[in-house]
Amino acid sequence: MDPETVNKIAAGEVVERPSSVVKELVENSIDAGARRIVIDIEDGGKKMIKVADDGCGMSPEDAQLALKPHATSKISSVEDLWNVQTMGFRGEALPSIAAISKFRLLTSDGTQGTEIRLSAGKDLIVQPSGAPRGTTVWVQDMFYNVPARYKFLKSSSRETQAISDVVARLAAAHPHIYFHLRSGGRTILEAGGTGDLRHVMAQVFGNEFAADAIDLYFSLETVTVSGLLAAPPHGRPSRSGQFFSVNRRPVRSLLLTWVTDDATRGRYMPGKHPVLIVNVSCSEGIDVNVHPTKAEVRFAREDIVRRALFHAYEAAFLPRADYPVPAQAKETDLDEWPQADDTIAQLVMEHPATGQRAFPELRFLAQTHGSYLLAEACDGIYIIDQHAAHERVFYEEVESTTYPSQLLAVPVTVSLDANSAAAFDEHRHTLEELGFDAEPFGPRSVIVRAVPGELAVSFTERVFTDLLEHLVHADSGSGLSALNEARKALAACHASVRASRGLSDMECVALIERLRGCREPFFCPHGRPTFLKISLHRLRKDFLRT
Amino acid sequence: MNIQVAQSSLLWGLNIVSRVVPSSSPMPILTGVLIETWKGAARLTATDLESAVQCTIPARIMQEGAAVLPLKLFAELVRRLPPQDITLSLRENEMVAITWEKAQYNLNGFKPDEFPKMMMVERERGVEVPADTLIEMIKSTVYAAASSEDRNISLTGVLVQVKQGKLTMATCDGIRIACISRDTDYGGQSYEFIVPAKVMQEVARLSSGVDDTPVKIFFTENQVLFDINSVLLASRLIDAKFPDYQQIIPNRYYTSMALDSNEFFSACERAALVPREGANYIRLQFSASGVVITSAASSVGTVYEEVPGVLTGEPLDISFNPRFLLDGLKVVLGKPLVFDGTGPSSIACISSPEFRDFFYLVLPLRR
């Protein structure tokens, strides 16, 4: 293969969309010891991305070397791989980016300035240039030479959203660095620089989350967990507000998510996930080289990480407990955790959908944990997920009826963060179809003059921001119309409003009856089961009666 | 403390103060009632920290003092006592001995000095209103207050405006506004404050059956005190800004219809039975001959009903959430009714020429 093809293939792994370019460039800036990083984008980064930092810069020789594949000054041997302290090390990023854009780099190590220009990885121009210490990179017309990939880029507002998410996660991992993200000259996010994590949380999520956030800290062997957790009831309908980093590198980790869900279960309203910024620092035993974008991470000692994070949450929720808790103190609890493999086998007893399709005759027995309904039928016990049931019932309602829209005597003003503002722009028409009448009201806020009739009484600012939040994360690739996604989202919001209010017995009976009337009563619109069944047969067997 | 009281007056007093008492509380003493000797009588106080109720009952004082007993249990006991004098005396460790005839119950109490002080509301600024007028005003408005604090806390209260010669109450839950004014002989400066709707309901309850004794309302920056025939109800005010509802009142109406309120209300109530599920609305079509009420639910059936009325202005086709419509109609039930509209997707008004200075504004549904 010729070098051009090799570079394009490599680019495919590292550079998927503008946000990955921003991630690579900003990580370089962080590795260069920058204190201020200013990111400018245009048209969701598709037209232009500029990242300027005040880091150590490069000498003319290093600058040229940086554009050669697998040239990195960050590691030199395989042993270093398990001990990587810098953000990047693969030496792939710059050449990959340069291969698919019009690329310009201006850098100075304080003594000598260098400017490098490349188009699609070719036509290299290197010239001395006057510049302050630091590095500035321009990436223009991304994928202009790879039309096939250009086609897969999403709308500008979506790409902006993705970039804003990337920068927010990096800012949360590096509170001592000042980040400034602008789109078309308009500030999208400004965060950090003070080293105060609470400050960053306020800038990223809003003051209400940061005001009474709880400090997280726990140290166990080589692992230290630290961060900030927004106290209940402040949560989000998705896990989008959970920023994890490992050794200050933003990551997504099933392990960390799982421990978080487990440790915070029952502390937040049903349908709400905690908002948090957590850094796990681990002096050894981490493999970040799982994926070229390094978004996933593997721990050599998962149990220690799990335990440290769990104790950090526990200490946070019990501020008076003497912590750090000795590592041994809770050992038994942890051993009793269901292992991931057997949970599904044990808890999902017998799915109704796999047996007969007719909705059973149910007699309501009780509500438990404010979120499940217990009912009996002639063939066993049924456990209904109240939230999922509500979602299904309400979803079929909004789907089948055109909702009249209730006009408000006192309009509600809703302030939005960057992501929801983008989602509002994108889905405004859909929201109207659902029965909302909302229009922009100053920068980053909208005024709601009418709401779907069903929400007349329960509508709050929160319902609207939650709805937009759902839309931001709606799976646009599923082929469903935006309207359908919005209906699902609305149903979810409605259900969580209901859940937070609690149900009387009569309402529980009514809910079961309404679920019976549904076209597809067995699943919520997002595909989760609405109920589980423990058959009489199974009960007899487990009580050793057969 | 050692006092003797009649069972009947003690039961009356406990009933009066019981409403504000939470059945359980992180502060257990709040589930108690404070009993203290005061000017030759016994005074009962209960509070949930937001509001407090106090009343005085006749008593024979053998020894001055105070005690706090768990209210629910104590009231249950007193309700079952024979109608005669009973003695309450404080023993050691906050225990109170309740004795009559040959029986003695000892109940564990709380420390009286830990009981929250009744809010001290200065009786400087105040207005007097006849009890029946006050009840009428509260009942005409309180139902339209918001039940949840989520949207705007000011909407969970009743706005009270005191002006020269006039007292106004208004509520608004974001979708409708109920407002009523009555004349008073108040001559001071203008004030306005927001009283929690729950407290207003309690005021209406305590005011019923006090005949024509005027209720005295005293208010400060952050508290209000209702003196209802010597029963005192004090409450914190809601510290928030009430929406400027005056601004929402339309300058003119394009449609106006005079109707029989009983006939119209019953028809709307019947029509509202059908669309319970799904799209919950009833449609009103006002024309020269009267109003046609329709509603439908595909799974239930359809409704068509005509109510005669006299139209002034333009015909109107408008839809409402039946609940919001019925709430306003209930207030003017039995009186001639006027329905005013400004258009199919804008505010409408319910009022009655025989129920002056009341109006109910409600926003329609837009289909």
Asked if the model's pLDDT at residue A353 lies above 60, the reply is no
Instruction: Pull the structure tokens for residue A504.
Output: 């009387």
In chain A, residues with a C-beta closer than 8 Å to the C-beta of B148 are 457-458, 460
Tell me the range of A281-285, B161-165, B279-283 where mean pLDDT is highest: B161-165
**Within-domain flag for B228:** yes
When mean pLDDT is compared across A59-63, A268-272, B111-115, B192-196, the lowest value belongs to A268-272
Same domain, B100 and B24: yes
**What whole-number percentage of chain B has pLDDT above 90?**
76
Residue B355 lies in a domain: yes
Q: Which DSSP letter does residue B280 get?
A: -
ipTM beyond 0.85? no
- The rounded distance, in Å, linking the Cα atoms of A494 and A394 is 7
Residue A480 token pair: 């469903």
Residues of A in contact with B347 (CB under 8 A): 409
Cα separation, B178 vs B326, in Å, equals 13
pLDDT of residue B53: 94
Residues B195 and B230 in one domain: yes
For residue B285, tell me if it sits in a domain.
Answer: yes
Give the mean pLDDT of A133-145.
Answer: 90
Tell me if the domain spanning A3-191 has CATH number 3.90.1150.10: no
Q: What is the pLDDT of residue B127?
A: 93
Q: Do B214 and B275 share a structural domain?
A: no
Q: Is the residue at B121 inside a domain?
A: no
Tell me the per-residue pLDDT of A220-247, one tens digit each, with 9 for 90 and over: 888 899 999 988 778 888 888 899 998 8
Residue B350's domain comprises: 250-362
Q: What is the rounded average pLDDT for all residues in chain B?
A: 91
Beta carbons of B279 and A456 less than 8 Å apart: no
Cα A400 to Cα B350: distance, rounded to the nearest angstrom: 33
* Interatomic CA distance for residues B184 and B200, integer angstroms: 19
Whether residues B136 and B203 share a domain: the answer is: yes
Cross-chain residue pair B366–A459, CB shorter than 8 Å: no
A37, A25 contact by CB (below 8 A): no
- Chain B hits for A496, CB-CB cut-off 8 Å, are none
Closest CB to A409: pick one of B248, B281, B365: B248
pLDDT reading at B238 higher than 90: yes
Structure-token pair, residue A237:
């309908």
Choose the mutation target among B148, B294, B319 for the interface with A, i.e. most A CBs under 10 Å.
B148
Rounded distance, CA A213 to CA A296, Å?
A: 27
Do A403 and B147 count as a contact with CB atoms less than 8 A apart? no
CB contact under 8 A, A408 and B150: no
**pLDDT, chain A, mean:** 78
Q: Residue B4: what pLDDT?
A: 95
CB contact (8 A) between residue A457 and residue B175: yes
Asked whether residue B308 is domain-assigned, the answer is: yes
- Rounded to the nearest angstrom, the minimum Cα separation between B341 and chain A is 14
Q: Per-residue pLDDT for A328 more than 80? A: no
Distance CA A204, CA A168 (A): 6
Taking CB atoms and an 8 Å limit, are A457 and B248 in contact across chains?
A: no
Partners of A456 on chain B (C-beta within 8 Å) are 175, 321, 324
Asked if A458's CB is within 8 angstroms of B148's CB, the reply is yes
Interface of A with B (CB under 8 A): 397, 400-410, 412, 437, 450, 453-454, 456-462, 514
DSSP B207-262: HTTSTTPEEEEEE-SSEEEEEETTEEEEEEPP-SPPP-GGGGS-S--SEEEEEEHH
Backbone phi and psi for residue A194, each to the nearest 5 degrees, phi listed first: -95, -15
**Record: contact A401-B278, CB cut-off 8 A:** yes
Q: Is A418 left (phi over 0), alpha (psi -120 to 50) or beta?
A: alpha
Can you give the pLDDT at residue A359?
76
Would you state the pLDDT for residue A504? Answer: 77
If you average pLDDT over each of A466-470, B157-161, B210-214, which comes out highest?
B157-161
Q: Which residue has the tokens 């007349």?
A: A456
Average pLDDT value for residue range A340-347 = 31
CB atoms within 10 A of CB A290: 12
For A205-241, give the DSSP string. Answer: H-HHHHHT-EEEEEEETTEEEEEEEPPTT-EESSGGG
What number is the average pLDDT over the span A391-414?
Answer: 81
Lowest mean pLDDT segment, chosen from A323-332, A423-432, A500-509, B119-128: A323-332
Burial (CB < 10 A; 0-12, 13-18, 19+), residue A484, is middle
Instruction: HSE, CB side, 13 Å, CA atoms: give it for residue B64.
Output: 3
pLDDT band, residue A294 (cuts 50/70/90)? low
In percent, the amount of chain A with pLDDT more than 70 equals 78
In a shared domain, residues B196 and B280: no
**pLDDT computed for residue A341 by the predictor:** 31
Per CATH, the homologous superfamily of domain A335-546 is MutL, C-terminal domain, dimerisation subdomain (3.30.1540.20)
Range(s) for CATH 3.30.565.10 in chain A?
A: 3-191
Q: How far apart are CA A350 and CA A353, in angstroms?
A: 9
Predicted confidence band at A77 (pLDDT cuts at 50, 70, 90)? low
Domains contained in chain B, number: 3
Q: Which of B174, B321, B361 sits opposite A453 (nearest CB)?
A: B321
| CATH code for position B317 | 3.10.150.10
**The tokens 């007028």 sit on which residue?**
B133
CB A351 within 8 A of CB A533: yes
Q: Give A480→chain B minimum CA distance, Å.
A: 23
Nearest C-alpha in A relative to B279: A403
Task: Give chain A's end-to-end CA distance (angstroms, integer).
Answer: 68
Residue B367 covered by a domain: no
CA distance A192 to A178: 5
* B248 interaction partners in chain A (CB closer than 8 Å): 409-410
Query: Would residue B303 count as lying in a domain?
Result: yes
- Banded pLDDT at A479 (limits 50, 70, 90): very low
Q: Are residues B231 and B289 in the same domain?
A: no
In the 8-state DSSP scheme, what is residue B53? Answer: E
Q: Burial code of B183-202, b = ≥16 C-beta within 10 A, e = fewer?
A: ebebeeeeeebbbbbbbbbb
- Model confidence band, residue A473 (pLDDT cutoffs 50, 70, 90): low
By CA distance, what is B319's nearest residue in A? A404
At B88 the pLDDT is: 95
Cα–Cα distance for residue pair B176/B347, rounded to 1 Å = 9
Q: How far is CA A354 from CA A383, A505, A533, A542, B209, in A?
A: 16, 29, 11, 21, 64
Per-residue model confidence (pLDDT) at position A161: 87
> Quick count: other Cβ atoms within 10 Å of Cβ B336?
14
How far is A525 from chain B, CA to nearest CA, in Å? 18
Q: What residues of A are in contact with residue B321 (Cβ under 8 Å)?
A: 406, 453, 456
Instruction: Of A64-78, A417-431, B105-119, give the lowest mean pLDDT range.
Output: A64-78
Q: Is residue B172 part of a domain?
A: yes
Residues of chain B contacting residue A514, judged by C-beta atoms under 8 Å apart: 277
- B330 to chain A nearest CA, in Å? 20
Region B244-248: what's the mean pLDDT? 91
Considering B200, B221, B246, which residue would you say is the last residue of a domain?
A: B246
When scoring B321, B350, B362 by the number of chain A Cβ atoms within 10 A, the one with the most, hence best to mutate, is B321
Query: Measuring CA to CA, which residue among B74, B76, B98 is closest to residue B1?
Result: B98
pLDDT at residue B279, as a whole number: 64
Section A333-343 average pLDDT: 34
A408/B278 CB distance under 8 A: no
pLDDT of residue B328: 95
The answer to whether B152 and B240 are in contact (CB under 8 A) is: yes
- Say which of A402, A408, A514 has its CB closest to residue B174: A408
CA distance readout (Å), A234 to A160, A209, A221, A268, B160: 25, 6, 32, 8, 33
Q: Which residue has the higher pLDDT, B24 or B163?
A: B163
**Check whether domain A197-316 has CATH 3.30.230.10, yes or no:** yes
A409 and B347 within 8 Å at the Cβ level: the answer is: yes
Q: Which residues of B touch A (CB under 8 A)?
A: 147-148, 150-152, 155, 172-177, 243, 245, 248, 277-281, 319, 321, 324, 345-347, 361-367
Summarize pLDDT for A210-219 with one digit per residue, the tens. Answer: 888 888 888 8
pLDDT score for A324: 38
